[in-house]
């Protein structure tokens, strides 16, 4: 919710008359009923102010590209002191409270370079033609060390608006002026500050500028394609939507295609090197020799761990008895060496051991998911020709039983 006194209800209206008069009248006593569309918000003399810095999430842009006579202006020295707020949150001006503008806007300024020569600084910002705009100008004397009379002149469209704009109140105290300006047919709005050479401090300056279009009609605020900060056209919006839909469609088709390829991929003979849990990363590294596995009585439990019977016969010298390193209720355990040089323990089930296909399948499912530094890893399995073989990582120092007994 916006602060109550962020925008005044009664405001001075400026209409360019082309004469020596000031062109000021009262706009309305019900200005708050109008909608405002931000066109420009400038941190004069400073850098960009992001939305995180502003307590109302406003963005302030540098003014350099809007100065029409840069030879007359210079960036004032950054003011590192305290900005004195002489207004509470319910003040409606001219002093600036914390919601009107952040301190950083008042800590920088453009100042006249040659005040004694009566040279002013002008800004020209794009606007809609022949339309009411809300103009707010921010001032803060960050140049003097004590309160001195520093008056200067404010012109809009080269027409005098205020002849004694001053900061005599106090140094480093922010204040602002609001106007409703009816733009002319040029499509630009000009603001000028001119030093007053009759006073002791002939200096003119400006700290910030805000410009918003006044929308008289009720209903939703229309998008303005001429907004200098966000130029959005219908073709751009349509193109973005169509492009997004095409991208999503391509991703979906690619996903379906990859899924089909994976389903149709032939089973390969694979040897997998286990990686201990402490090493991180993937559980296995794959080495393929291209041998096709046939005659499996089991469903595809884990194709990545499947080894061929031929490879295991080679690793154990056709299950030579001299390769036996242990025996269990299910059968013998053989020491083997795979083609990649890895030493493994091969557990081969024997007929009548009591281990059936469901138990064999369950053991593969469980052991393939267990990884621990103190447990041997399941390297693979073989279920060809009614064989039920499990291949484990070989323990060089024997089992825990060997160590204890």
- 3-class SS at 69? coil
Which residue's structure tokens are 């109140």? 169
Helix H or strand E segment including 262: helix 234-264
Helix (H) or strand (E) run with residue 234 in it: helix 234-264
84 is in an annotated binding site: no
Give the span between the Cα atoms of 322 and 324, in whole angstroms.
Answer: 6
Q: Which two tokens stand for residue 264?
A: 């149709």
Burial of 113 from C-beta contacts in 10 A (0-12 / 13-18 / 19+): middle
Positive or negative, the CA dihedral 101, 103, 104, 110 is: positive
Give the Cα separation of 206 and 357 in Å (integer). 87
> Are 160 and 22 in contact, with CB atoms under 8 Å apart?
yes
d(Cα 299, Cα 295) in Å, to the nearest integer?
A: 11
Tokens of 269: 């003979």
From the list 271, 281, 302, 280, the residue with the least C-alpha distance to 391 is 271
Gyration radius (Cα) of the chain, Å:
41
Judged by DSSP in three states, 297 sits in coil
The DSSP result for 77-121, as a single string, is PP--S-----S-TT--SSB--TTTS-HHHHT--EEES-GGGT--E
Structure tokens at 28: 């309305």
Known binding residues for ATP = 347
Known binding residues = 347
């Amino acid at each position: 919710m916006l602060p109550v006194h962020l925008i005044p209800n009664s405001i001075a209206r400026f209409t360019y008359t082309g004469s020596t008069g000031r062109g000021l009248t009262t706009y309305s006593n019900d200005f708050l009923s109008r909608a405002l569309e931000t066109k420009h918000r400038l941190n004069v003399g400073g850098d960009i102010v992001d939305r995180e810095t502003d307590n109302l999430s406003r963005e302030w842009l540098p003014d350099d590209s809007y100065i029409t006579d840069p030879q007359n202006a210079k960036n004032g020295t950054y003011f590192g002191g305290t900005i004195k707020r002489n207004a509470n949150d319910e003040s409606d001006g001219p002093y600036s409270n914390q919601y009107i503008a952040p301190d950083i806007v008042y800590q920088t300024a453009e100042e006249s370079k040659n005040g004694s020569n009566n040279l002013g600084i002008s800004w020209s910002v794009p606007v809609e033609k022949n339309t009411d705009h809300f103009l707010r100008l921010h001032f803060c004397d960050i140049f003097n060390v004590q309160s001195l009379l520093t008056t200067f002149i404010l012109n809009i469209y080269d027409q005098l608006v205020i002849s004694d704009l001053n900061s005599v109140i106090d140094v480093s105290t922010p204040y602002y002026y609001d106007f409703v300006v009816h733009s002319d047919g040029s499509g630009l709005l000009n603001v000028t500050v001119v030093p007053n050479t009759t006073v002791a401090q002939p200096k003119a300056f400006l700290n910030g500028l805000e410009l918003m279009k006044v929308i008289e009609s009720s209903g939703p605020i229309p998008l303005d394609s001429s907004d200098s900060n966000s130029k959005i056209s219908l073709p751009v919006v349509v193109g973005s939507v169509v492009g997004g839909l095409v991208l999503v469609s391509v991703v979906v088709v690619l996903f379906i295609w990859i899924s089909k390829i994976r389903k149709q991929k032939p089973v390969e003979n694979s040897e997998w090197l286990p990686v201990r849990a402490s090493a991180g990363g993937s559980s296995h590294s794959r080495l393929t020799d291209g041998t096709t596995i046939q005659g499996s009585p089991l469903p595809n439990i884990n194709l990545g761990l499947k080894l061929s019977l031929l490879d295991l016969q080679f690793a154990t010298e056709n299950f030579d008895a001299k390769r036996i390193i242990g025996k269990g209720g299910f059968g013998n355990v053989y020491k083997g060496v795979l083609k990649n040089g890895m030493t493994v323990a091969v557990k081969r089930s024997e007929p009548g051991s009591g281990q059936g296909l469901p138990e064999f399948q369950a053991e593969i499912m469980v052991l393939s998911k267990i990884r621990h530094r103190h447990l041997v890893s399941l390297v693979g399995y073989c279920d060809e020709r009614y064989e039920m073989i499990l291949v484990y990582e070989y323990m060089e120092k024997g089992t825990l039983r060997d160590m204890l007994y």
